[in-house]
Structure 1
Amino acid sequence: MASPQQKAFCILEFAKTNSVVTVQRAFRRRFGSNPPCPKNIRRWFRQFQESGCLCKGKSPGRSRVSEEQVARIRAAFERSPRKSIDQASRELAIPQPTVWRVLTVSLHLKPHRRQLVQALTNDDKRKRMEFCDSMLEKMEDENFISRLIFSDEATFHLSGTVNRHNVRIWGTEHQHETAEHERDSPKVNVFCAVSQDKLYGPFFFGGNTVTGQPYLDMLQNWLFTSLQADSHDFIFQQDGAPPHWHLMVRVLLNEKVPQQWIGRKGAQDLALCAWPARSPDLTMCAS
């Protein structure tokens, strides 16, 4: 960037010679560096002629947003909250940055992402209501809650995961930070159970997936032994995951804890009550 002295030199030389090439040659001899381009030399000379100064003019700044524009933007998003800023800009003939500024600064609105949830059928809703009514009725017994054992499994990838929507790095410069994604990375499947007073686990499954047989072995060889060491009067809950629906798992539950388990069940199963399908939010392990 040329200094004020260099700009003044170029203007004086151009006024004398009216030749950009001559000015550039004189500039090299005087300052020993590459001269400004012809466009800048002419622009500086024209600016000096018009204003008598080489100072930068004061920026007019950001144009003010009128109350009428604010009202139009507010009305547009009240009618259609899902409208995109790009669409609103086109419809209202207002620049996108202005629409964004009005929404966030003037109207104090925030964009919220749509959350994907499990679709429920009418029958699902009916079964959930019946289950909740049944649980409320059973909870009239003061000892019922203390007998409940909730359980669930989770999968953890050893490489870790990154949610790009939530991870932000603030700074004055771009950090160019990356996170490597390893396809088919090693993972571990973990089971836990929890009562009112105690956590059972974690129990780590071998292999990449949990199937009926490993789940059955875990119940027989570890969980029920741990539960019965504390009390035989418990109610075991499991959701409707495929390993839990395994025939031999249900046979074990019917034999070991008849009328003391909650889960997906068949017509002949001796469960206390059926766990409603697609209801992960009803267990404390998933909350």
Structure 2
Amino acid sequence: MYSIIKTQKKSKAIYFRENFYRLQKTNKNGTDQWVCTKRQCSSSLTIKNNTIQAIRGAHNHGNLKRSPSIIKTVTNIREKVCTNISQPITQTYNEAVSDYRKIHGTAESVPVFDILRSTLYRDRAVVFPKLPTAINELILPENFTKNLYNEKMLFCDKIKQSRLLAFSSLSALKQLALPDKFEETYSTVLEALVLYAQTNNVILNPTSILIDFEQGAFNAFKKIFSHANILFCHFHFAKNIVKRLKKLQKMKSKDIQTAVKNKHENGDGPTKIYRDLGGVVSLRTINLWIQMINKVGSINLSHPPGRPRTVRTKSNILKAKRRLAQKKRVSSRRLAADLKISKTSALRILRKDLGYFPYKKIKQPKLTDLQKGKRVKFANWVLNSYTKEDTKKWLFTDEKYFDLNGVYNIQNDRIWAANREEADKKGGIYEKTKFPIKVMVWLGVCAEGLTVPVIMDNGTMDAERYINDVLPIALKSGNEMLGKSWTYQQDGAKPHTHHLSQKWCADHFPEFISKDRWPPNSPDLCPLDYNLWNEIAVSMDWDKITTKATLIGAIKRSIKKIEKEKILHSVLDFTVRLRLIQKNGGNYIR
């Protein structure tokens, strides 16, 4: 006789002669065809009216012998995990196994918890509501806003561009989680904290405040607590100063020894000296120096610790410095060959002795003096005419080509193999099509999010298509996200600067940046160019993109994945970049 059981997906299965069968089909004569759950097995059962009519084929595999009682126990555990959600899963498992052993004894082994772990937690997850993917989706029941003494804990729950949640009891606020380090975020939370204290008859009037070196936090605390004396962390301050001096080669070991001696004579202990120097000298070394001062009155080192230098000598360091001054581009391997030293020693001279670091050459638009002047003029006009809140009502737009060649990172795309031939077989060759299939994507971004993308299959766009296919969608998206008063931005591409496009924008948009306003050659001023296009391209699975249809689908999915906080930060960075342009005379901003 067979037993009817449930599978992990809650469908019916048959357990017969220590094998499992699934329903394949129901025949016209009323019989059911059940086949072995092992895919390569041809064994099957024919059942009619709960009776086995025929057994066909032989099993070509081994199986784990489980009795119906064990299978039923596992099924009961899975059901109880879903019905009794307040009980821990491990407790549910242990109780069921204990009951099974009391009834059936211990002759047969029960599947250990690690084997069932993923299945049980997956069953429990089906019962629970879907986990939120962002803090804005988080729903807080009333009882979650109070502590065990029924005291209100939630004192800040504000949704602006991003949500702020802050919990505290009346005793002390020890932890506070913020989504960013902007001055506006700090101000919002501090205002909520002061209001919360006032409602509980507590007056917050600190005389001194200790914070890290963050300009946003300093401005916010100064605004809320104007009479307080705001102090910065001395340990990190001293550590950064000493680190900077050593990098500039302005501070030698002799200077550090003098500082230790002076502070010791002033009565400072080893730990305080260590903290005041920012940890640039180990506490053990400071103790040894103090012992030397107490014995002989000074720090006398007969020779530097360790064996004498034979390669990283002053002569080789000077030669390396002269070599770099003569040729700006010198590889560490070539420098090592010229100095007749190892590559490792050459790298140590460059990094530790000279304080140099390798930097890759970065591609950026070449700006003329006229273009730099226009960029400064534009920055002055925006910062004088618009506030930071006003720029949140801008709709920034741009177009970008995507093709089937995808994104290739020559630095990080590596294949690990024993030899080149094996690496080639594992996908170590990047094949680039000369004329790949490509599409053009138009997209808009503002503080409220991204617009609907407009994808042009043939990869080109003229003024007529821009007016007919793109601008109406831009107008509709802007009105839906920003209301009646907002500003449309576009760069200096020919379809944008065409007189018919400019006329359409003037007739339909509440306000737009004309072709005479937007500075030429300035992709570093559009959030899509300096951030979001890269986010979209990187999140696409290029290995699965083989046709134009899959490319378009991947683009749409990637656009939906972009987090709203990243979008907001990109838009807020626009005014920061304008101020940098004012300071650097119109140069390109990376």
TM tier, shorter chain?
A: 0.5 to 0.7
Identity fraction in percent: 22
**What corresponds to 2:385 in structure 1?**
138
Q: Which amino acid aligns with 2:402?
A: F
Instruction: Confirm whether residue 121 of structure 1 aligns to residue 368 of structure 2.
Output: yes
Aligned length: 210
User: Equivalent residue of 2:513, what SS?
Assistant: strand
**What corresponds to 1:270 in structure 2?**
none
Instruction: Confirm whether residue 241 of structure 1 aligns to residue 464 of structure 2.
Output: no
User: Equivalent residue of 1:188, what SS?
Assistant: strand
User: Does the C-alpha gap of structure 1 residues 81 and 111 become closer, same or farther in structure 2, counting only changes over 3 Å?
Assistant: farther
**What corresponds to 2:400 in structure 1?**
154
Give the whole-Å Cα distance in 2 for the aligned partners of 1:170 and 1:104. 25
Give the whole-Å Cα distance in 2 for the aligned partners of 1:71 and 1:134. 50
User: Does the C-alpha gap of structure 1 residues 89 and 100 become closer, same or farther in structure 2, counting only changes over 3 Å?
Assistant: closer
User: Does the C-alpha gap of structure 1 residues 66 and 160 become closer, same or farther in structure 2, counting only changes over 3 Å?
Assistant: closer
Equivalent runs, 1:38-53 vs 2, <5 Å: none
Equivalent runs, 1:201-280 vs 2, <5 Å: 201-230=452-481, 231-257=483-509, 260-265=511-516, 274-280=517-523
1:203 Cα deviation after fit: 1.6
Q: 1:79 aligns with which of 320, 325, 329?
A: 325
**What corresponds to 2:538 in structure 1?**
none
User: Equivalent residue of 1:250, what SS?
Assistant: helix
**What corresponds to 1:94 in structure 2?**
339
Give unpaired runs (5+ residues) of structure 1.
1-63, 266-273
Give the whole-Å Cα distance in 1 for the aligned partners of 2:479 and 2:418. 59
Instruction: Write out per-residue CA displacement over residues 161-188 of structure 1, whole angstroms, 9 at most, x where no aligned residue.
Output: 4243453334554423112111211111
User: Equivalent residue of 2:392, what SS?
Assistant: helix
User: Does the C-alpha gap of structure 1 residues 228 and 114 become closer, same or farther in structure 2, counting only changes over 3 Å?
Assistant: same
**What corresponds to 2:66 in structure 1?**
none
1:77 Cα deviation after fit: 4.3
TM-score, length basis structure 2: 0.33
1:223 Cα deviation after fit: 1.9
- Any conservation in 2 of the 1:73–1:102 contact (CA below 8 Å)? no
1:150 Cα deviation after fit: 0.7
1:145 Cα deviation after fit: 2.1
User: Equivalent residue of 1:74, what SS?
Assistant: helix
Instruction: Write out per-residue CA displacement over residues 136-160 of structure 1, whole angstroms, 9 at most, x where no aligned residue.
Output: 11233x6412321111111111232
Q: 1:286 aligns with which of 508, 526, 529?
A: 529
Give the whole-Å Cα distance in 2 for the aligned partners of 1:201 and 1:73. 59
Give the whole-Å Cα distance in 2 for the aligned partners of 1:122 and 1:94. 42
Q: Which amino acid aligns with 2:403?
A: H
Instruction: Write out per-residue CA displacement over residues 220-267 of structure 1, whole angstroms, 9 at most, x where no aligned residue.
Output: 432212323442211000011122112211110121126x111424xx
- Any conservation in 1 of the 2:395–2:486 contact (CA below 8 Å)? yes
Give the whole-Å Cα distance in 2 for the aligned partners of 1:154 and 1:263. 21
User: Equivalent residue of 2:396, what SS?
Assistant: strand
**What corresponds to 2:145 in structure 1?**
none
Q: Which amino acid aligns with 1:255?
A: D
1:216 Cα deviation after fit: 1.2
- Any conservation in 2 of the 1:148–1:236 contact (CA below 8 Å)? yes
User: Does the C-alpha gap of structure 1 residues 237 and 99 become closer, same or farther in structure 2, counting only changes over 3 Å?
Assistant: farther
Q: Which amino acid aligns with 1:131?
A: F
- Any conservation in 1 of the 2:371–2:520 contact (CA below 8 Å)? yes
Instruction: Confirm whether residue 181 of structure 1 aligns to residue 432 of structure 2.
Output: yes
**What corresponds to 1:197 in structure 2?**
448
1:285 Cα deviation after fit: 1.4
User: Equivalent residue of 1:210, what SS?
Assistant: coil
1:67 Cα deviation after fit: 1.7
Give the whole-Å Cα distance in 2 for the aligned partners of 1:66 and 1:220. 64
1:72 Cα deviation after fit: 3.6
Give the whole-Å Cα distance in 1 for the aligned partners of 2:371 and 2:419. 51
Q: 1:167 aligns with which of 392, 409, 413?
A: 413
Give unpaired runs (5+ residues) of structure 2.
1-309, 531-590
- Any conservation in 2 of the 1:76–1:88 contact (CA below 8 Å)? no
**What corresponds to 1:37 in structure 2?**
none
- Any conservation in 1 of the 2:336–2:343 contact (CA below 8 Å)? no
User: Equivalent residue of 1:222, what SS?
Assistant: helix
User: Does the C-alpha gap of structure 1 residues 168 and 80 become closer, same or farther in structure 2, counting only changes over 3 Å?
Assistant: farther
Q: Which stretch of the first structure deviates more once superposed, 155-164 or 126-135?
A: 155-164
Give the whole-Å Cα distance in 2 for the aligned partners of 1:229 and 1:87. 60
- Any conservation in 2 of the 1:70–1:102 contact (CA below 8 Å)? no
User: Does the C-alpha gap of structure 1 residues 167 and 256 become closer, same or farther in structure 2, counting only changes over 3 Å?
Assistant: same
TM-score, length basis structure 1: 0.64
Give the whole-Å Cα distance in 2 for the aligned partners of 1:162 and 1:149. 30
Give the whole-Å Cα distance in 1 for the aligned partners of 2:336 and 2:405. 42
Q: Which amino acid aligns with 1:168?
A: R
Q: Which amino acid aligns with 1:221?
A: P
Return the structure number with greater relative CO, CA threshold 8 A, min gap 6. 1
- Any conservation in 2 of the 1:188–1:206 contact (CA below 8 Å)? yes
User: Equivalent residue of 1:107, what SS?
Assistant: helix
